[in-house]
Amino acid sequence: MSRLARNNADWYRLLDLCGVTNTLIGDADGLYHPSLFNDRLVLGLKGTMSEAELHVLRARLNGGIRNKAARGELRRGLPVGFVYGEADGEVRLHPDEAVGTAIRNVFARFAELGSVRRVWLWFCAQRLRFPMQSNSLADIQWVTPTYTKVRQILNNPIYAGAYVYGKTQCERYVDDRGRVCKRTRKRARSEWPVFLCDHHPGYIDWDTFEANQRRIGQNKRPRPHQAGGAVREGAALLQGIASCGHCGRHLHVYYRGRYARPGYYCPGTNIVEGRGEYCLNIGGCQIDAAVADAFLAALAPAALEASLKAAEQIDATHAATLTQARQDVERARYETQRAERRYRAVDAENRLVARGLEAEWEKTLQEQKAVEAELARREQARPQALTAEQRAKIAALGTDLKRAWTLPTTTDRDRKELLHLLLDEVIVAVERAKYNAHLTLRWRGGLLSEIDVPLPRSRPPTIRTEEDTLALVRRLAALYPDSVVAGILNRQGRKTATGLSFTANRVSGLRTHWKIAGFEPPQQKPDGECMTIEHAAEVLGLAPSTLHRWLNDGFIAGEQVTPGAPWRIRLNDALRARFVEQTPEGYVPMIDATRLLGVTRQTVLQRVKRGELEAVHVRSGRRKGLRIRVPATVPDLFTPPHINQGAV
């Protein structure tokens, strides 16, 4: 029973079962019957004491761990770059110089680039390998770095020389299915049970670590109406630091126009009052230029020193990558020599082992050759040292910061990163009545400066649609829908005010701007109405090509508003009478008419066009087409025509 009485819930369930079945429970002290009160009381006390014994043991063990952690002597898994020393709680830097160089490159590049992602991309672009260490691997493995690993190094306080215990807390909860689960929750820095600063040598100091954490926090996507966020590639210089001078909210950035000019707006009124209005909406070109001038004026005293340090930083960056490449070559040579020694030390007769060691030696030789080729490439690509003339040009450029600021090689990201180093916030207050924008610049350190930026006054549009095009649109809009009007304008080679071709949307916008009424088809179409050829052909039950042919031959009259517009014919009773189902009496086909009249087909068509002959179109039957009414008395072709008296 001493092993069973570890959990009171299970123990009392066992006692109930044994009491019902009259089963005895025994230990080294005697036998007990659970159904007897005295025996059940003793068993309950023993179960409680057994459970309390586990609690006491667990409390003593946890207390010992906490006390050891409070002294900084508790040994746990160390991240890559650290090893334990001989003394209790002693933590040393990794003796491998290549490991230390890789770790220092992470912090150096973050101080330069200011973004975890850009540090990771720099390692990938330079094709540098990174050390990996785990409990399952005895030696350090060199692999391609990942974004997660770079972020873990920057967020781990151990690299700042601090000993921390209790950064996370394990919690138990009941899920939706009633199961007991565990989860790990990160604690805030103020809730860490153990925090020992300067516990061991680190790669950076604690102040630098806190500055890195603040910068990483600023790179996160800001919540609504909060400033911050990583620097983007857009042209808006005040992205992330501009705020509204009316309501204090963070200003958003937008880009518009053909050249994507930046602007700032505050949706405060839209959120508070629920209307589609902006608390502030202003273009950013004048504001960015004014803030940039103020920044360059403040930076002028340190411009020369900054330009020289920039030139030195280029050499330092390449030197860091070259150093790590040389260490990779040195490590590869050592691995090759060790593999060679192991191969030569094995018995030549033991071919099973010799073949494996030979393959390992060959692999290390190939790796050595690859890293030596990479080192040679980096040494050839190393920038040359600056000459005296080049340094003089850099010094001259340092005195003219505005020129360096506007150079094409200076990207928008570079400008914003420089601006964010000195400015914490720019408060923008717009006075529309005075055409003025009042800027309040809050510099690092608390200094405030104010700038008034004049805003451009509204001007009438300098471009507009041609008058003849507008007049034509007014005529066509009453007869055709926008899509048909756009097609007519395009066939005539007309363009919009900005030189674009017309579409239905652009015609609609033009009508809306100039208040031109649109096309409204009538509810009922009376007789004699003008309609398109397609519609008329549908009403008459003909092919549109037939009406087009009659229109070209002049048999029927048509109307056209402007060249390129569709033809319209007036459908009346007279026109309907020309299209019949059966051939009327006295009408003959075209071939018979030409034979009876003794003329050609073209002559017959001309006489019909002049009204000398009557013609109808039969639209049903086997022989469709024109039918000509031939007069009863047809003059003979060989009989001379009647000559009036008095004619010469």
Q: DSSP for 427-461, please give it.
A: EEEEETTTTEEEEEEEETTS-EEEEEEEPPPP---
- Angstrom distance (rounded) from CA 261 to CA 283: 8
Q: What is the mean pLDDT of residues 113-127?
A: 87
Please, are residues 167 and 187 in contact by the beta-carbon 8 Å criterion? yes
pLDDT of residue 637: 44
Share of the chain above pLDDT 70, in %: 84
pLDDT of residue 103: 92
Q: What is the mean pLDDT of residues 264-287?
A: 70
pLDDT surpasses 90 at 159: yes
pLDDT of residue 642: 43
Count CB atoms within 10 A of the CB of residue 108. 16
Q: Parallel, antiparallel, or unpaired: how do β-strands 130-132 and 141-143 relate?
A: antiparallel
- Angstrom distance (rounded) from CA 168 to CA 156: 13
pLDDT of residue 647: 31
Please, are residues 192 and 201 in contact by the beta-carbon 8 Å criterion? no
Q: DSSP labels for 514-565?
A: HT-------SS--TTEEEEHHHHHHHHT--HHHHHHHHHHTSS--B-SSTTS
- The SS3 of residue 553 is helix
Q: Which residues of 123-135 are buried (b: 16+ CB within 10 A; e: fewer)?
A: beebebbbbebee
Count CB atoms within 10 A of the CB of residue 145. 21
| Of 604 and 647, the one with more pLDDT | 604
pLDDT of residue 537: 80
Please, are residues 109 and 204 in contact by the beta-carbon 8 Å criterion? no
C-alpha dihedral sign at 195, 197, 200, 202:
positive
2 CB burial (10 A radius; 0-12, 13-18, 19+): exposed
Q: How confident is the model at residue 382 (pLDDT cuts 50, 70, 90)?
A: low
Minimum mean pLDDT range among 196-200, 313-317, 352-356, 367-371: 313-317
Q: What is the mean pLDDT of residues 467-492?
A: 87
Non-local CB neighbours of 647 within 8 Å, separated by 6+ positions = none
pLDDT of residue 308: 53
Establish how many alpha carbons lie within 13 A of residue 566's alpha carbon, considering only the half-sphere containing its beta carbon.
19
Count CB atoms within 10 A of the CB of residue 120. 21
**Mean pLDDT in the chain?**
81
Q: How confident is the model at residue 641 (pLDDT cuts 50, 70, 90)?
A: very low
Non-local CB neighbours of 386 within 8 Å, separated by 6+ positions = 311, 394
C-alpha dihedral sign at 293, 294, 297, 303:
negative
Q: What is the mean pLDDT of residues 105-119?
A: 88
pLDDT of residue 113: 82
- The SS3 of residue 103 is helix
- Angstrom distance (rounded) from CA 88 to CA 163: 13
- Angstrom distance (rounded) from CA 66 to CA 76: 13
Please, are residues 566 and 484 in contact by the beta-carbon 8 Å criterion? yes
Name the amino acid, one letter, at 476. Answer: L
- The alpha-helical segments, DSSP class H, found in 71-135 are 97-113, 116-126
For residue 159, give the H/E element and its range.
none
pLDDT of residue 458: 63
Q: What is the mean pLDDT of residues 138-164?
A: 90
Of 71, 81, 202, residue with least CA distance to 131: 81
* pTM assigned to the model: 0.52
Q: What is the mean pLDDT of residues 386-396?
A: 62
Minimum mean pLDDT range among 452-456, 520-524, 628-632, 634-638: 634-638
Q: Which residue in this structure is represented by tokens 């092919």? A: 543
- Both tokens of 416, joined, read 């914003």
C-alpha dihedral sign at 67, 72, 73, 79:
positive
Give the rounded distance of the alpha carbon of 192 from its chain centre: 37
For residue 337, give the H/E element and its range.
helix 303-345
- Angstrom distance (rounded) from CA 292 to CA 283: 15
| Of 413 and 36, the one with more pLDDT | 36
pLDDT of residue 640: 45
Share of the chain above pLDDT 90, in %: 9
- Angstrom distance (rounded) from CA 255 to CA 516: 32
Please, are residues 568 and 560 in contact by the beta-carbon 8 Å criterion? yes
- The SS3 of residue 168 is strand
Angle at 113 between CA 111 and CA 115, to 5 degrees: 95
Count CB atoms within 10 A of the CB of residue 605. 18
Please, are residues 111 and 216 in contact by the beta-carbon 8 Å criterion? no
pLDDT surpasses 60 at 185: yes
